[in-house]
Chain A
């Protein structure tokens, strides 16, 4: 999407993913092209079913058995990942070069294996170290992700850890083989807010220390504001807006992004209704004509129901897939809540981002 190709680590072109569900076909990803710059934190925002997890699962060959990449290319280290057919090849990428941290730390850990073994196992497999070396590295890694007295806790089992601690271990395992890309799929959704803040901080610190690229999947715009350099907004299997974090929050162009921002409960005024996007997302079993968001949009034009909009350029880093950006389209202003977002948030908080203390 960006024009000068500087330091790209991953490049997706025209990606399409389909799932066979009983005798029907569902198009989960509808031709996405996107470049990931090395070292950046890219947040992918969208509702459940928008395809954000499916999109990133194609980078590690982890699509469910009924899903296939039916079109497109995924370029990484000079290789097209979309062409990989067998698991042997995937093992060179998955976990080793591109690692994933999932939402629920309990299901990503083996309940009958000690924490320490689960970390050193990865080090032995991917880095070919001896058992003793791996143990030493695992303990170091545990300390690095904030486990106190790692030597003592090395032989404990997952159930002896709290949710936040388990997620730290999952991160330690993911980072044990020094991946180039870390995909965080809603890593804090199952955690409490205070723990969430710590885990977010940890991932940020580690990304600077180890220099990996982070792809952060979330539906929480607060988390996005905290972590992201770049934001991609997904809707119905497509990226509909893409830009630097400030461009998305302070100068968004797509009506769906406006809708997401306006429905933030932080913007609600007592005694008034919250802004709600009407209706529900479209079914991906049927072919979508025009702009997928049009039936729910207050700004839909006639052409939105007929023809799919292309990406329009807002700045060198900011693109929006909406006909509103076409020079022939009528000029519309974003809703007041979106225009005044920053002022309203400032009114709620102090300089340190804390409610109350002003």
Chain B
């Protein structure tokens, strides 16, 4: 894992929100690396802090402790104008609701070239047109769509516009915040395939935010599970699904309904209690249990988790 180049480094980040005297810690001591060329998924329920972290990376939220590095350069806190522009150009975001993230009163042509205008990334009008046509073509829309408005498109098409406007900036890193949650089942696969295509062609790195683990297993290389602002487990997608160790990860995995009636009807639900997290609240940290697999725990919990992992590994080998 160490031979891979780190693109984004999130180090001991706290994010707090203040409402009058009330202080709410939305993200607690989050640390993770995103390697170049991978798809890193951040999975959690609503209110777990996953979007808050993403917004901190693109500098929409301030962090109250720790730091965030991009290509080894610090991008959190106060930056020079030049550095800010550099961040904005290289990190793009795709949002959940394509209807809300596009300007209703602007044509698709403008929506897609907005970033180009902001940073003046084109030689002349002809060059801009060419770039827009290329981006439209890449996401499977037609040049004739340029003069239309967002409301004239279906959800899947609007999400394609959202992808096109991120791609036209030729970023190095894309944060996709639940990009397929608002889409229909038959359209989801189209959008996921499109995102994979761009990743392969342009050597992109993705951070994929999701609440649905079933999508992530297929799409992500590594997965971090977040609960109540705390990252509780980080592992490769394969390991996380094969050896989910943290009780919260297990309950999350189990809750996803499987599209198979025999399996689903035999399933017994376990309810998750917060016991494990409360026990390690004070003295816990994200520790490596086997190479590449991290669990949030304290020293007391370590033997228990190690035993659990061993048991899982044994049963999977014997079967």
Identify which of B196, B243, B252 contacts A273 (C-beta below 8 A).
Answer: B196
Q: Which residues of A contact B193 (CB under 8 A)?
A: 273-274, 276
Q: In the bound complex, what is the Cα–Cα distance between A277 and B263 (angstroms)?
A: 26
Binds B, one of A13-21, A66-74, A341-349: A341-349
Contact bitstring A191-207, B, C-beta under 8 A = 1, else 0: 01111111011000000
Identify which of A263, A352, A353 contacts B186 (C-beta below 8 A).
Answer: A263
Instruction: Report if A265-B258 is in contact (Cβ < 8 Å); known contacts: A273-B196, A357-B312.
Output: no
Binds A, one of B83-91, B106-114, B266-274: B266-274
Q: In the bound complex, what is the Cα–Cα distance between A341 and B160 (angstroms)?
A: 30
Contact call A263/B253, Cβ cutoff below 8 A: no
Binds A, one of B165-173, B211-219, B276-284: B211-219
Binds B, one of A24-32, A75-83, A220-228, A302-310: A220-228
Instruction: Report if A353-B156 is in contact (Cβ < 8 Å); known contacts: A193-B211, A277-B186.
Output: no
Residue B187 lies at the interface, judged by CB distance under 8 Å to chain A: yes
Residue B242 lies at the interface, judged by CB distance under 8 Å to chain A: yes
Q: Which residues of A contact B258 (CB under 8 A)?
A: 222, 225, 266, 345, 348-349, 353
Identify which of A196, A219, A275, A349 contacts B184 (C-beta below 8 A).
Answer: A219
Contact call A193/B262, Cβ cutoff below 8 A: no
Q: Considering the complex, which residues of chain A in the window 176-225 have a beta carbon less than 8 Å from any beta carbon of chain B?
A: 192-198, 200-201, 219-225
Most buried by B among A221, A278, A357: A357
Contact call A260/B185, Cβ cutoff below 8 A: yes
Q: In the bound complex, what is the Cα–Cα distance between A192 and B226 (angstroms)?
A: 13
User: How close is A47's CB to chain B, nearest CB, in angstroms?
Assistant: 4
Q: In the bound complex, what is the Cα–Cα distance between A162 and B162 (angstroms)?
A: 31
User: How close is A320's CB to chain B, nearest CB, in angstroms?
Assistant: 18
User: How close is B177's CB to chain A, nearest CB, in angstroms?
Assistant: 16
Q: In the bound complex, what is the Cα–Cα distance between A287 and B46 (angstroms)?
A: 42
Q: In the bound complex, what is the Cα–Cα distance between A341 and B186 (angstroms)?
A: 17
Q: Considering the complex, which residues of chain B in the window 121-157 have a beta carbon less than 8 Å from any beta carbon of chain A?
A: 154-157
Contact bitstring B231-246, A, C-beta under 8 A = 1, else 0: 0000001000111100
Chain B residue nearest in CB terms to A278: B190
Identify which of A47, A222, A249, A260 contacts B257 (C-beta below 8 A).
Answer: A222
Chain A residue nearest in CB terms to B318: A358
Q: In the bound complex, what is the Cα–Cα distance between A358 and B156 (angstroms)?
A: 37
Instruction: Report which B residues bind A (CB closer than 8 A).
Output: 45-46, 154-157, 184-190, 192-193, 196, 211-215, 217-219, 237, 241-244, 250-269, 271-272, 312, 315-316, 319
5 nearest CB pairs, A to B: A222-B257, A268-B218, A353-B267, A276-B189, A221-B259
18 A-B residue pairs with Cβ-Cβ distance under 8 Å, sorted by A, are: A48-B155, A220-B257, A225-B263, A249-B259, A260-B185, A263-B186, A265-B218, A274-B193, A277-B186, A277-B190, A341-B260, A342-B260, A351-B266, A353-B266, A354-B250, A355-B213, A356-B244, A358-B319
